[in-house]
Structure 1
Amino acid sequence: MTAQFDLVVIDAADIGAVGRFYAALTGWDVVREDADRFGVRAPDGQEVEFQRAPDHVSPRWPGQEFPQQFHLDIQTADPAAQVDRAIALGATHLSDGDDWITLADPAGHPFDLCQKDGVDGVMALFAVTIDAPNASALARFYAAVTGMDLTYDGPEGALLSGGGRNLMFQQVQTYTPPAWPDPSRPQQAHLDLKTDDLDAAEALAHSHGATTLDASSPTFRVLADPAGHPFCLVR
């Protein structure tokens, strides 16, 4: 019994502001807007949600005192042409890479605009990228739990693919894990994994190194992966 990767949920104090930022920047549709969550959906069906966290502490990239933990890799044909527009919408320019540009959204979460030919107009979500002290090991954990395929495993990171979605794992030598729900070491984001059998999916995750943080709800359970990132198994 595996659990299907559903979506990434990113913490923010003002979920409307950050959600509308991504909708305006990428061209993705707003599909959820309530008191606790704001959701956007790319044309291929991938969704990103923003979860209300009133005491959210923003990451301070690139350090590990307040680490990013997660980031989105978003594709567009010409990242440089999108920077001024992103800044006008509320982003901050952080760094330039070989074929990507790193910015921070209005809640302080870094994200990368990555170059891909042919992605004009509406942008594409290439991957949700997760920091890890051992990217290969964490990728293999999520491969076991979700059934996604390990399609790349190298010194700088690893990639899982399945169902038209990608999870990347980025090697961070000075990695500092979250300690949910400690507000001094907060999570910045988490994955929601869907399952028909919470008990079986929880047992599978445990067998590969996860720990349960909260099992009080009949509809979801909060676990931590081997690197300390919380994730939810959702019925």
Structure 2
Amino acid sequence: MTEPTSAEPSAEQPPTGGVGTLDTVVLDVPDLTAEADFWKALTSGTVSSESDDWITVVTPDRWGIGFQLAPDLVAPQWPGQEHPQQVHLDLYVPDLAAASARAVELGASVLRENEQWVTLADPAGHPFDVCLKEGTEGVTVMGATFDCPDASGLAGFWAQVLGVPVTYDADGVAMLGGSRPLLFQSVEGYNAPRWPDPAYPQQLHLDIEVPDLDAGEAAVLALGATRLPGEGSGFRVFADPAGHPFCLVR
């Protein structure tokens, strides 16, 4: 994980109006209750919806984190690309040691440590970073970071989908602004998901809320998305140009 700073070069891309808005970051998990309880406790969030195969936790800073039942999930084995993480969450914390210890107490495992952030895996094996930010109150969500072969290109796609600017683009890392930032990091030997093939799982996906599914589908396909199998009365499934699945929801 590389965190852009204001001292580093950036490139502004103006917002386009966007196709939709980021509604929920959704993790595939083999145990709904264990995973939701972990993230609820870590972020001091609350459960906003719950069913037999889905739980949504809303954090105090208004990020929706969803958990989708995937009993046969092939967990990532960070940092390699044989079973890649695909996407991870970055959290801001005021005290790195205390936040890391709390995460471990709740069931996380430490994968890597340095002075600015600690990489951990949650109970389902999904990596996430706790990043030092002095003065922040409690645990807040910095954003979601996508592994990809071309950070600049994928940031451009998502900037148009969400209608937010690219606020940083250099050295294989790009970042979108807005109230719910997305980050992109170029990864050597990137291994894309092949949803719905369980041997190449998605690990995590975004739900994008749109006012009209037909118009939303036409717009994301024109931007470079690919239609994937799977739909219901209120959602349709796509892949971004790097192969990450996402849903348009209404």
**RMSD of the TM alignment (CA)?**
1.3
Aligned length: 233
State which of 201, 204, 214 in structure 2 corresponds to 1:189: 204
What is the match of residue 106 of structure 1? 123
Offset from partner CA, 1:95-154 (integer Å, 9 cap, x none): 01341000000000000000111123x310010111111011011001111112111111
3-state DSSP of counterpart to 1:165: coil
Residues in 2 aligned to 1:97 and 1:208: alpha-carbon distance in whole angstroms: 38
Q: Does 1:49 align with 2:66?
A: yes
Counterpart residue number, 1:150: 166
Q: Does 1:171 align with 2:181?
A: no
Match of 2:42 among 25, 31, 45: 25
- Residue type of the alignment partner of 1:119: T
In 1, Cα distance between the equivalents of 2:205 and 2:168? 22
Q: State which of 148, 160, 165 in structure 1 corresponds to 2:176.
A: 160
1:78 to partner: Cα distance: 1.0
Q: Which residue of 1 aligns with 2:9?
A: none
Larger mean Cα displacement after TM superposition, 202-211 or 178-187: 202-211
Q: Deviations over 1:27-73 (max 9, x none)?
A: 12222232111221122211111110011111000000000001000
Relative to 1, partners in 2 of residues 1:97 and 1:204: Cα closer, same or farther, differing over 3 Å?
Answer: farther
Which stretch of the first structure deviates more once superposed, 132-141 or 217-226?
A: 217-226
TM-score under structure 2 length normalisation: 0.89
Relative to structure 1, is the Cα distance of residues 208 and 108 closer, same or farther in structure 2, using a 3 angstrom cutoff?
same
- 3-state DSSP of counterpart to 1:62: coil
Contact 1:8–1:192, Cα closer than 8 Å, also in 2: yes
Shift of 1:16: 1.0
The 2-side partners of 1:78 and 1:62 are apart by 24
- Specify the alignment match of 2:10 in structure 1: none
Deviation, 1:82, is 2.0
Which TM-score applies when normalising by structure 1? 0.95
Mapped to 2, the partners of 1:156 and 1:114 lie a distance apart of 20
- State the shift of 1:216 in Å: 4.2
Instruction: Letter of the 1:107 partner, please give it.
Output: A
Q: Which ranges in structure 1 are unaligned for 5 or more consecutive residues?
A: none
| Distance in 1 separating the partners of 2:230 and 2:39 | 32
Specify the SS of the correspondent of 2:72. Answer: coil
Contact kept in structure 2, 1:145 and 1:201, CA below 8 Å:
no
Q: Is the 8 A contact 2:148 2:185 kept in 1?
A: yes
Listed one character per residue, the Cα deviations across residues 142-200 of structure 1 (whole Å, up to 9, x for unaligned) are 111111211111113111122x1111111111110000011111110110001011122
**Once the 2 structures are TM-superposed, how far is the Cα of residue 80 of structure 1 from its aligned partner?**
1.5
Structure 2, unpaired ranges of 5+: 1-17
Q: Distance in 1 between matches of 2:225 and 2:158?
A: 10
- Runs of 4 or more, structure 1, over 3 Å off, are none
Q: Secondary structure of 2:181's match?
A: strand
Q: 1:25 to 1:216 in 2, by over 3 A?
A: closer
Counterpart AA for 1:12: V
